[in-house]
């Protein structure tokens, strides 16, 4: 069973429906104290970093997620949920993140491409990842974002995507921490396989 964190900034129901389609049981809850009952936690996210991390802190999810990770349990961040895992974000000012992955969330700058990136783009693997088992390299996933994650340690990056004149980090795997910038619940069969892999890992 997967615990889906409801902290007021998530695309909760589409993710829950995707898991249900796969036959994976879920519970959606805003009660951070319940998180310790589950081995797998999903952090969705749509919206602005500052508002989201504020809600995450007030709700108690920040401490609960850190404790969950310290116990060696698995967590998956999607889109803004991925960005919350990093040290800080520059979105509309400086904001401190969970800092479970060292790095900064940056705005796409100095590009002729339209920002935000909205639509399908390919994902290039940097190394093997449990999250992408059974999914061919350079598969396409659905993105909606203006900011991207820039981890300090290249070893944390398992996939990149080209946009805005650069290869940016589109997936992270680190000691049970999984994160993707794209929306697997909107990414057809490849996206469903990502969710299935997380549920099984």
CB 162 within 8 A of CB 201: no
Q: Confirm whether 95 is a catalytic residue.
A: no
Catalytic residue among 74, 95, 145, 183: 183
Residue partners of 114: CB distance under 8 A and separation at least 6: none
Q: Confirm whether 68 is a catalytic residue.
A: no
Buried b / exposed e across 52-91, counting CB within 10 Å, b at 16+?
bbebbeebebbebbeebbeeebbbbbbbbbbbbbbbbbeb
Beta strand 147-151 with 86-89 is unpaired
Catalytic residue among 74, 149, 173, 185: 185
Catalytic residue among 68, 79, 145, 169: 79
Q: Confirm whether 149 is a catalytic residue.
A: no
Which residues are the active-site residues?
A: 79, 183, 185
């Amino acid at each position: 069973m997967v615990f889906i964190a409801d902290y007021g900034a998530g695309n909760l129901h589409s993710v829950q429906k995707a898991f249900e389609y796969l036959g994976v049981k879920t519970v959606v809850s805003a009660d951070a104290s319940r998180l310790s009952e589950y081995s797998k936690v999903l952090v969705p996210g749509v919206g602005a970093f500052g508002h989201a991390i504020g809600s995450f802190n007030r709700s108690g999810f920040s401490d609960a997620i850190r404790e969950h990770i310290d116990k060696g349990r698995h967590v998956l961040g999607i889109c803004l949920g991925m960005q919350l895992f990093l040290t800080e974000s520059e979105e509309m000012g400086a904001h401190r993140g969970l800092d479970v992955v060292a790095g900064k969330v940056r705005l796409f700058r100095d590009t002729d491409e339209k920002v935000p990136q909205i639509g399908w783009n390919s994902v290039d693997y940097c190394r093997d990842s449990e999250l992408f088992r059974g999914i061919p390299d350079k598969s396409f996933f659905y993105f909606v974002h203006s900011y991207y994650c820039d981890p300090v340690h290249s070893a944390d990056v398992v996939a990149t995507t080209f946009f805005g004149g650069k290869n940016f980090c589109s997936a992270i795997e680190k000691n049970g921490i999984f994160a993707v910038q794209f929306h697997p619940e909107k990414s057809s069969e490849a996206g469903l396989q990502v969710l299935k892999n997380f549920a099984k890992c």
